[in-house]
Amino acid sequence: MAHRPKRTFRLRRADSSDSDGAQETFAEPGATGEQAAGGPAVKGPPSGRGHAEVAELLRRGRGRRRGRAWASSRHAARAAPRLDGSSDAPEFRMVDLSADEEDGAHHSSESKDDQRLSPNSSRTLEDEFSSVVNIPDAAFIQATYGKCKLTQAQEDYISLDVKQAFTNSGMKKNSEASESEPDDFKDIMPFTPKPQTLKQRMAEETTTRNEETSDDSQDEKNQDIWEQQQMRKAVKITKGQDTDLSYSHESQTVKKFDASISFPPVNLEIIKKQLNTRLTLLQDTHRSHLREYEKYIQDIKSSKSTIQNLENSSNQALRFKFYKSMKIYVENLIDCLNEKIINIQEIESAMHALLLKQAMIIMKRRQDELKHESAHLQQLSCKPETSINKSLAIDENTQLILEEVESRRARRRQARVLSGNCTHEEGTSSDDELSSADMTDFQKSQGDILQDHKKIFEDVHSDFDNIQNILLKFQQWREKFPDSYYEAFISLCIPKLLNPLIRFQLIDWNPLKFDSIGLKQMPWFTAIEEFINCSMEDSKKEDSSDKKILSTVINKTVIPRLIGFVEFIWDPLSTTQTTSLITQCRMILEEHSTCENEVNKGKQDLLKSIVSRMKKAIEDDVFIPLYPKSAVENRTSPHSKFQERQFWSGLKLFGNILLWNELLPEDTLQELGLGKLLNRYLIIALLNAIPGPDVVKKCSQIAAYLPEKWFQNSAVRTSIPQLENFIQFLLQSARKLSGNEIRDEVKEIILILVKIKALNQAESFIEEYHLDHLRSVIKEFK
């Protein structure tokens, strides 16, 4: 049921003929709008006769009946011109002033007077009007009202219903046509409310109370009143409108079931087959559900048994407890090491910088002293016409340095005499003594660093800074739960955990000192060895992963630190440093090479750094000056002494290089010792020397430094190609000495040739100079 629309009121003027007793009334614009909205349903204008009859009836009704106006006086006056077809389709408006509740009493009295005065005429008017106007029923009015509201609210809405859209478009057109007509009564607008009568106020109060008490009953009453008003306000609807609206109304009704329709006959076999099929499906579904149910029951039983076994199994509880304790321990250990690693790096860098400073002082002093002493000797060799004042000025600049050098040499000679070493040659000393001031500063700085070194782990429990206690924790894991231990790859984790602690112990370790502790004697080394040995006993596997722990630690921790010493601190001219370094490297590179890939990489890096440092020493520290024979004939002259010292210094470096014969490859060592040092510096100095016992002594020392490993092949009668220049010098010296009948030195040269496998040259020389008594020497070495 449609709802009552909102009603508004507009002031209309009564006809001049009603001025004697009529009052101003308010008409509903909603009614007019509804009639206008209903207009579009009209397909065409009504006939001329119908218009004339309606106009005549309106004029007659207005004259006979007072207080009720079906149209305004101006609309009635303009009705005649529109009937001749010269203007748009006529539009009739029916205004029922009795619908206004304000004028209910007035209209009621006027209706009674009209009926009393002219009953016959009123009845005749109603009969004639009913023959022209068809009053629609309530359903029709409700449908029309709904269409009007839809058209007004959604003018731009396009309905999917073709008939509905068509009807709405027609209604819209007629509504626009009706709105285009002039309405003079719209010009008058009320600005003050009309005074209400006593009856009107009572009716309003009654309505308010009824609305508060019973809203539902009032809505129904208002709906009934509204329907009655719509029936009285309805306009004439053409047959086309009736047809469209009735069709639209019927299309909205629900189709009812027609019992007269016949169905095909029922086949019982088909029904039975369908029922069997449905039953089979249900049975299959039921069986699948049963299987799932049984599976769930089994899962529940299995879960309960597992829970029971876990609750009753003490081993699992102990395993969980152990794993939890290990997890907490490792986390705390990592936190501790992460906090201490910064301090370890600072102390490590400070110690390395201190040792580097000391090494740089010694190397720079050696180079400066060599430079000044060579310049001084050069001045002494200058011509007499050189300015004496200039020479004296240069001597004054170098005098202090030369005096300091000579004082250190005197102290070393005195120390050698006290020790009984009388075979020492000048120039073979390392000359690495520091002054008392430098030595005091070095010891003080080193003491401060070691004091800070002790404070790093002073606030740490022994379970977290003692490598043996740490490895004991992992050893317990390996003994109790070996499967999980090896599955966790603990052998790869232990070197990383121990790295900070091992570096902490290596801070005070100097592999260049002759009294430095060996790696095997360090606590971390022995602890790891014990851990590996226990692993071999427990696992009884030759390929146990724990065997690689020590080699990995050496490769990742020890070798990088050793490379730092080789590149920046090691002095190849120092035999003490070289011997100590070789001892440490031999232990690292030979005895602990179980993990070949890793150790080989570290080994290659270490050996490259050693070779590079020795090349640099040959280029920077070897200097053997060549003076005229007149300057070096006197063995006590400064030139001769300086040349001798520099030769023995180069020869000392030659011997230090060849000490690496068991660690460095032979071709690399021969290239360094023989190619770059012997042939380029030492042989040239020997050629410039006067043949004699001193030259033979130097050649014997060179041959003594050569590794015997190079000459162990008895089938070879020729020496190493790089020794060819040295062999030729020996033969040349032997020829000179044989002419002077110095038999002992010649025999010494023959022995040198035999030692270095120059047998063919030795035999040729013996035959050439008829030294048959020396053939027995050759036979001894065959």
What residue type is assigned to position 57 of the chain? L
d(CA 573, CA 622): 10
For position 256, what pLDDT does the model report? 55
Concatenating the DSSP letter of every residue in 658-673 gives: HGGGGTS-HHHHHIII
Q: For 189-211, write each residue's pLDDT tens digit.
A: 555 566 667 777 777 777 776 66
Element (H, E) at 25: strand 25-27
d(CA 164, CA 166): 5
d(CA 735, CA 358): 49
Structure tokens given for 30:
């909603």
Nearest CA to 719 out of 756, 688, 748, 754 is that of 756
For position 328, what pLDDT does the model report? 95
C-beta separation of 556 from 495 below 8 A:
yes
SS3 per residue for 502-525: HHHHCCCCCCCCCCCCCHHHCHHH
C-beta separation of 470 from 333 below 8 A:
yes
Q: For 143-189, write each residue's pLDDT tens digit.
A: 888 887 777 666 554 555 444 444 444 444 444 444 444 444 444 55
What residue type is assigned to position 128 of the chain? E
Phi, psi of 210 (to 5 degrees): -65, -35
C-beta separation of 750 from 766 below 8 A:
yes
Q: For 440-458, write each residue's pLDDT tens digit.
A: 999 999 999 999 999 999 9
For position 557, what pLDDT does the model report? 93
Structure tokens given for 521:
């004697």
For position 390, what pLDDT does the model report? 44
Element (H, E) at 27: strand 25-27
Q: For 454-466, write each residue's pLDDT tens digit.
A: 999 999 999 999 9
**Helix, strand, coil distribution of the chain in percent, nearest 5:** 75, 0, 25
Structure tokens given for 693:
């016992």
Q: In sequence order, which ranges of 422-481 are alpha helices (DSSP H)?
A: 436-454, 462-465, 467-480
Q: For 418-430, write each residue's pLDDT tens digit.
A: 777 667 677 777 7
Q: What average pLDDT is seen over the chain?
A: 74
Nearest CA to 758 out of 724, 708, 735, 732 is that of 724
CA atoms within 13 A on the CB side of 497: 25
Question: 92-113: string of b/e by CB count within 10 Å (b at 16+)?
Answer: bbbbbbbbbebbeebbeebbee
**758 DSSP assignment:** -
CB atoms near residue 567 (< 10 Å): 14
pTM: 0.59
Phi, psi of 493 (to 5 degrees): -90, -30
C-beta separation of 638 from 676 below 8 A:
no
Kindly report which listed range (11-15, 49-53, 145-149, 155-159) carries the lowest average pLDDT score: 11-15
Specify the residue for token string 């009285």. 232
Q: Which residue has the higher pLDDT, 246 or 696?
A: 696
Q: What is the largest CA-CA distance in the chain?
A: 190
